[in-house]
Amino acid sequence: MYSSKDLKKIIKKIFLKHGLKKNDALISAELIVYAEIIGASTHGVSRLKMYCDRIKKKLINPKPNIKIKHISQSISHIDADNCIGFVSANLGIKQAISNAKKSGIGMVGVKKSGHYGLSSYYIEQAVKKDYIAICFTNAPPAIAPYGSKKSLFGTNPIAFGVPVKSRIPFIFDSSMSKINRGKIRIAEKLGKSLPYGVALDKYGELTTNPKDALSGVQLPIGDHRGSGLAWMVDILCGVFTGSSHGGKVKDPFEDFSGPQNIGHLFIVFKKNLFDKGFDKQIKLNIQRVKKLPRKDPRKKIRYPGEKKYYNFKNNLKKKIKLPKKVYNELQILINT
């Protein structure tokens, strides 16, 4: 069991040992611990070994020469030089916020990046500064395009956030698959089964076995609609930013033939661009939903971002407990 402060220090030290620059090690440790605190352990310490393995194999560049090209006051393009995804995504959102401050809207495309963890971390930064934000990232093949039985699109999350004055921000952040791939990875690591109806094995049969799901396909949300959305993200992040796309993003756990070359897209804009009454109207909008009759009278109607906000608040001071296998992996990383 670790306090979040201690865990962050340990992870930072591990990344420093693997050659990351001081600030990059700090950002990366921060994101991994953030995932543990909000209860998204699928994107936490269980992935640390993978990042370290890829640095050792020179597939993540620990000392990248990241270049930012400013196309206009609003638009920037980042060449991340195959750095760890946390660092380029963090830079991407900061640049998008800075562009939005100047011109009302900021758009930043990032190429040659890697797995960046949880989208909500980046969205929160913009929302805390009172902006509306949308972000996308593509990911390695997991979902079969509608009509095919071979995976090609990633779980390709879409995240969207708006500030809600004196209330918890609205932050929607979701994979385009029925469950995120991290849940399958962690079920495999811990010897657990998957829920029924989220994945098919390589023969096209429904499976609850994580190993079979990883070599088969994950099912998209909403059938052809989810497949279409995952495709949209692949176009925006892969084709549009100049990164890998169409099934060519490399799996970080299994494909060591080169850097991932993932793309991200960040769009940030001022909330009052069209209507000065945004603060009042967004509260009203949420109130109308919250006041609806409940399906289960004991359960409040939640809006996206609420649960994670409470998780963060309640867990920040609590000790983080890692599953035994993940704990053991961490000890090896500490001691080697």
Ligand X SMILES: NC(=O)c1ccc[n+]([C@@H]2O[C@H](COP(=O)([O-])OP(=O)(O)OC[C@H]3O[C@@H](n4cnc5c(N)ncnc54)[C@H](O)[C@@H]3O)[C@@H](O)[C@H]2O)c1
Burial of 17 (0-12, 13-18, 19+ CB in 10 A): middle
Spatial separation of the C-alpha atoms in residues 199 and 59, rounded to whole Å: 29
Nearer to ligand X, 74 or 182 (CB): 182
Stretch that binds ligand X, among 62-70, 90-98, 104-112, 116-124 (CB under 6 A): 116-124
Contacts of 32 (CB under 8 A, 6+ apart): 11, 43, 44, 45, 47, 48, 117
- Contact between 76 and ligand X by CB under 6 A: the answer reads no
Q: Per the structure block, which two tokens stand in for 74?
A: 């609003």
Q: Of 109, 87, 81, 73, nearest to 20 (Cα)? A: 87
Residues near ligand X (CB under 6 A), total: 24
Among 101, 149, 307, 317, binds ligand X (CB under 6 A): 307
CA distance 328 to 273: 51
User: Which is closer to ligand X, CB of 174 or CB of 315?
Assistant: 174
Judged by CB under 6 A, the stretch of 4-12, 75-83, 166-174, 246-254 that binds ligand X is 166-174
One residue of 74, 99, 175, 260 binding ligand X per CB under 6 A:
175
DSSP letters along 240-283, please?
TTT---TT-SPPTTT--SS---EEEEEEEEETTSS-TTHHHHHH
CA quadruple 48, 50, 52, 55: dihedral sign: negative
Name which position in 95, 137, 218, 227 contacts ligand X (CB under 6 A). 137
Minimum CB separation from ligand X for residue 142, in Å?
A: 8
Selected from 286, 305, 330, 333, the binder of ligand X by CB under 6 A is 305
Binding to ligand X by residue 304, rule CB under 6 A?
A: yes
Say whether residue 173 binds ligand X (CB under 6 A): yes
Does residue 285 bind ligand X (CB under 6 A)?
A: no
113 sits near ligand X (criterion: CB under 6 A): no
Residue 66, SS3 per DSSP: coil
Give the contact letters, 176-205, x = binds to ligand X (CB under 6 A), - = no. ----x-------------------------
Select 64 or 117, whichever has its Cβ closest to ligand X: 117
* Residue 85 CB, nearest approach to ligand X (Å): 7
The answer to whether residue 174 forms part of the interface with ligand X (CB under 6 A) is yes
What order of strands is seen across the sheet that includes strand 170-174?
67-70, 75-79, 105-113, 262-270, 131-137, 158-162, 170-174
Q: List contacts with ligand X (CB under 6 A).
A: 40, 43, 115-120, 137, 139, 155, 157, 159, 172-175, 180, 302-305, 307-308
